[in-house]
Structures are given as structure tokens and as C-alpha cells.
Amino acid sequence: MRHRYECPMRWADLDLLGHVNNVVYVDYLQEARVDLLRHHGPAVQSGEGLVEGVVVVRHEVSYLAPLLFGRETVSIEVWVTEVRAASFTLAYEIFHEHDGARQVYARASTLLTPYVFATERPRRLSTAEREALEPYLEPGEPVRTRRHEPVRDELGHYPVHVRFSDVDVYGHTNNVKYFEYFQESRIRLFGRLWEGLGQDGGPPPVVVAQIDVDYAVPILLRPEPYDAWTRVAHLGSTSMTLEAEICDGDDVLSRARVVVVFVDPATGRPSAPAEGYRERLTAAVSAARTC
């Protein structure tokens, strides 16, 4: 069984291209997830239950089609793909459906663990919580964290300043905001990479195809910035893969892997970047491998 949530859209959800921004998709997933958990009984909604007492361990988001603003809601189906002793995994599909035809904009999965905020420690799922999740279980591929190589290149450095509004009631930065931090970091990297280049109408437009984020240690509100590091890990003919970390000194708080696709602004189709930009990216890949 799948839970269906009708998510209202906001004008502020859009980016410069008029599409719903990639970060906002994750906010939509959060709304659907909370709505699913609210439909459970009182035992699951208790102070240490799954509505409030749960943290995200990993997100995997695949962006399949641009979502435009509309007055109608966007539909989200959410279901459970795996239940373990101290974690569970949810899957999602974001779509519009008209006359039996479904336009899917994104698919995603989230690995979550129950958490006791008073002690800042994870806990095991209770019997009641497992029973509440079971009706939504459709076994699928498990989400597994992946190993990342260290990312420390001054070209891709960005200071992350946490805003008061970024933080939830427990004093932790909300999981959605990490996507925003990684977005700011890669935009800063792009700005440095493209510096001095202006041929062929400017930098090549890109769209996000995939983002995987691992959450290791909570990011807290403080005056001092954290350090984000982003590098170009792989360059294809019409796409590239970025790897990023958010750190506090030597401690890695979160890691991300992002795949972006170069597009032709006239057609919206994948397109190879101009030679000058490709040369910069090739040099960036080589430099990252020697760090």
C-alpha cells in the first residue's frame, strides 16, 4: 500500500528557469513523509515516535523532468521499502496524473533512523512502530551509504553560514537545508571555474539529474561558518559528477554526490559544453585527483 499526499506549491519554489528548484523537491518529500507518519496511531506519534523522533541518514533523489508552477497540487506517493532493527527506508514518486497518464518528475528514497534527541543517540524501532510501517511495505533495493574520497580543494571551498531559520526545534539544521548548502557550494565553484570565460553566450546551463546526500553529524547553529568543499570528480560528454563535503575542521558532517547535465537552452536537451569550458573542467578533474 502507498500513501498519497497532495502537496501545495508556492511561487517561491521556482528557480531562474521557472522550474521548481532541486532543493524544493526534498522539501516536498519531507512534507509527504511527515504526512505519512501522522497517519499512524498515538504510539507512533508520541514524543519519541516517528513523526518527531527520527533523523535522515541518507537521501537519494533522481530528477526526471522539470516541474512547473501550477495552482493545483503536485501528488507524492510514499511507501516503505525496508524495515530493519534500528532503521527504515522510504521511497517516493512525485507526479501529476491526468486521465490515467502519469507524468513523473522525481523518484527518491530516504534512509531514516529513530532518534532520542535528549541523549543525541539513535534507538531501535518499537514493535508498535514496526507494525505501523508494515502496511506500507513494498520491498525494494536497500539504500546503502557509499564510501567517498576526501574532498579538499581550495577552488571548491565555500563557507557555510547557518541561518537561524535553517534550524529545527531540536537545534539541528533541517535535512533539506543541506541540499541548499551543497547547491551554494557548487554555484561558487562554477563561478570560479568560469572566471574569464565568455565565449559562445556565456557559461553552459546545467540541470541536476541526481543528488545523493549522506548525513553523518548534525550541523548546529553557531556564529562561525562550517567549511564546504566541492570538486569535479568526473566529466562526461554532456554531464559531470561533483563530490562535496561539509566539514567542521577534520570532522566530516555530510557528504554529497551530484550529477548535473549540460543542456541546450533552446531545446532543453543534453548538449556538450563549449571547448573552453570543457578545458577548464578537464583541468579541474585532473587537479582534484592530485589533491
pLDDT at residue 201 greater than cutoff 90? no
What pTM did the predictor assign?
Answer: 0.92
Residue 185 and residue 97 in one domain = no
Residue 23 and residue 140 in one domain = yes
The three-class DSSP label of residue 129 is: helix
Residue 139 and residue 149 in one domain = no
Residue 131 and residue 48 in one domain = yes
Residue 190 and residue 224 in one domain = yes
Which of 175-189, 197-211, 273-287 is predicted least confidently? 197-211
pLDDT at residue 146 greater than cutoff 80? no
Cα–Cα distance, 117 to 175 (Å, whole number):
15
Residue 181 and residue 162 in one domain = yes
Cell of 129: 512502530
Cα–Cα distance, 254 to 148 (Å, whole number):
11
Cα–Cα distance, 67 to 21 (Å, whole number):
9
Cα–Cα distance, 88 to 112 (Å, whole number):
6
pLDDT at residue 128 greater than cutoff 70? yes
Q: Which amino acid is at 118?
A: A
Total number of domains in the chain: 2
Question: Which of 82, 111, 144 marks a domain boundary?
Answer: 144
User: Mean of the pLDDT values across residues 272-276?
Assistant: 91
Give per-residue pLDDT as tens, 164-178: 999 998 889 999 999
**Quick one: pLDDT at residue 141?**
78
The three-class DSSP label of residue 95 is: strand
Question: How confident is the prediction for the chain on average, in pLDDT?
Answer: 91
Cα 216-251-288 angle, rounded to 5 deg: 95
Name the more confident of 44 and 181.
Answer: 181
The domain in which residue 198 lies consists of 145-291
**Quick one: pLDDT at residue 213?**
98
Give per-residue pLDDT as tens, 222-231: 999 999 999 9
Q: Where are the beta strands (DSSP E) in 164-273?
A: 206-215, 226-235, 239-248, 251-262
pLDDT at residue 53 greater than cutoff 50? yes
* Residues 20, 69 contacting (CB under 8 angstroms): yes
For residue 8, give Cα distances in angstroms to 11, 35, 95, 239, 246.
10, 13, 13, 32, 31
**Quick one: pLDDT at residue 25?**
99
Cα–Cα distance, 56 to 85 (Å, whole number):
16
pLDDT at residue 44 greater than cutoff 60? no
**Quick one: pLDDT at residue 144?**
67
CB proximity list for 105: less than 8 A, separation 6 or greater: 20, 25, 63, 64, 65, 66, 67, 74, 94, 95, 96
**Quick one: pLDDT at residue 270?**
95
Cα–Cα distance, 156 to 136 (Å, whole number):
41
pLDDT at residue 42 greater than cutoff 60? no
Q: 245: domain CATH number?
A: 3.10.129.10
**Quick one: pLDDT at residue 23?**
98
Residues found in the chain:
291
Cα–Cα distance, 148 to 122 (Å, whole number):
23
Residue 117 and residue 188 in one domain = no
Question: Which of 92, 112, 144 marks a domain boundary?
Answer: 144
**Quick one: pLDDT at residue 169?**
84
Question: Which of 144, 165, 199 marks a domain boundary?
Answer: 144
Give per-residue pLDDT as tens, 62-120: 999 999 998 899 999 999 999 999 999 999 999 999 988 999 999 999 999 998 888 88
pLDDT at residue 255 greater than cutoff 90? yes
Cell of 93: 514518486
Torsion of CA 217, 220, 223, 227, to 10 degrees: 30
**Selection from 10, 31, 137, 20 nearest residue 76 by Cα:** 31
**Quick one: pLDDT at residue 47?**
47
